Structure 1
């Protein structure tokens, strides 16, 4: 794909040079027939240049999408998510909007990889991604931030509505049993949610949601420890 863009740039440069040469030649030609012929050739090359520029822009847009997308799940990656988060918070500051950021971390995902292999782990990640996409609105943003960490940004959402949406997603994931070959895997995840408004900053919002997620994970571990001790 990068080679295609480079080749396209070369084609564009050559077409521009050819058009410039024809324009220069046309100025020095007194014969009407020759000028008309040169004009037609210039127009032909101009249309070809327009097509080459459109192809170049399409390829660049495709590369931009790749840079913002997680290749496994098709969700936004960390870079893409942070770009959208910054845009959403800028809108919140301008229009006094509110919304919800949720950070999600799968529980015992390393154990799944170690026991059943990375192909199984990939299937788990893709399943989680599909659940999140299915249970959010088209205007919301879902991302895989890396490894087994995900994020959901509920845009222009009140706290109660957003909390209810995240709770439904959490219940769906934490009650899921995924079949892998002859095995049934019980999936679990820890969620941390934080509201944003017109005063929120990207760094503080992410940090607060991340802290809330780790608190949830800690409470789960403490509960398991107490249960085991009993």
Structure 2
């Protein structure tokens, strides 16, 4: 066996091993697998569903690229022509390209909030490891801002959930209008949102957060102008952080801002609203 044939066999077996991780019958070993790929198969079986979906998209793409690479070699094409298999292979490549688009679409749908079309909590969990890598390598520095619509429950209680949903959609529009390409706006659930912002520090991001929260999100409801303010807390994202540690710091800061905001509203909302609360994180490595 020459090196080229060995490469093809190895790639075919590796791809087959990974693909089979998504097929339940193979858990009972109804189909034999090469022993040297048993470990990779077992690791793929352990993946949580969202990671399997990501791996599946990568495998579809990788399979297509391997087949396209084969078809780009004249000698291989000649062999396939003689065997009358080239058209079949080209059809497989075209079908894989369609499947890629479908998987990408379905994966994005899975990561979008149905009501607001912002990214959802699952997306945040998916993106956050990449944010940490970027922070660790110094490519970009991020902060995490936790936002909550102050007194949102009163809107639902007074006007109903349909009006509440309109406020959530309007809040999402506000976040989209303020964010840049590198930022990640997320609806965590209910009236809770967060932003992963590309910014050098929470101090540098403070003017942006102040502008974002300084005016209420307003709607005309039953002939009345009704407005809700964002309560907001923010913290740095450190290379040693977890998503939970960042959300916890930002959530505590947001709650502190919410207390100040409610006091300001109850006293007549005189003067500018209180500024978002910043929770400065310090690396254990410093």
Q: Following TM superposition, by how much is the alpha carbon of 1:201 offset from its aligned partner in structure 2, in angstroms?
A: 3.4
Q: Of 56, 59, 67, which aligns to 2:99?
A: 56
**What CA RMSD, in Å, does the superposition of the two structures yield over aligned residues?**
2.6
Q: Of 108, 111, 128, which aligns to 1:65?
A: 108
Partner of 2:153: 110
Tell which structure's C-alpha radius of gyration is larger: 1
1:140–1:154: 8 Å Cα contact kept in structure 2?
yes
Report matched runs for 1:128-167 at 5 Å: 128-167=171-210
Q: Following TM superposition, by how much is the alpha carbon of 1:65 offset from its aligned partner in structure 2, in angstroms?
A: 0.8
Report matched runs for 1:11-26 at 5 Å: none
> TM-score, normalising length from structure 1?
0.73
- Aligned in 2, Cα 1:181/1:49: closer, same or farther, shift over 3 Å? farther
- Segments of 5+ residues of structure 1 without an aligned counterpart are 1-34
- Segments of 5+ residues of structure 2 without an aligned counterpart are 1-79, 269-286
2:202–2:234: 8 Å Cα contact kept in structure 1?
no
Partner of 2:218: 177
Q: Of 197, 201, 204, which aligns to 2:245?
A: 204
1:88–1:155: 8 Å Cα contact kept in structure 2?
no
Question: 2-side partners of 1:195 and 1:36: how far apart?
Answer: 59
Q: Are 1:123 and 2:166 an aligned pair?
A: yes
Structure with larger RCO (C-alpha < 8 A, sep 6+): 1
Q: Are 1:101 and 2:144 an aligned pair?
A: yes
1:77–1:143: 8 Å Cα contact kept in structure 2?
yes
Partner of 2:28: none
Query: Structure 1 residue runs of 4+, over 6 Å off?
Result: none
Q: Of 218, 222, 230, which aligns to 2:259?
A: 218
- Aligned in 2, Cα 1:62/1:95: closer, same or farther, shift over 3 Å? same
Question: 1-side partners of 2:208 and 2:265: how far apart?
Answer: 26
Count of residue correspondences? 191
1:193–1:212: 8 Å Cα contact kept in structure 2?
yes
Kindly provide the CA deviation profile for residues 190-211 of structure 1, in whole angstroms up to 9, marking residues without a partner as x: 1111122334333221110011
- Aligned in 2, Cα 1:183/1:223: closer, same or farther, shift over 3 Å? closer
Q: Are 1:195 and 2:225 an aligned pair?
A: no
> TM-score, normalising length from structure 2?
0.60
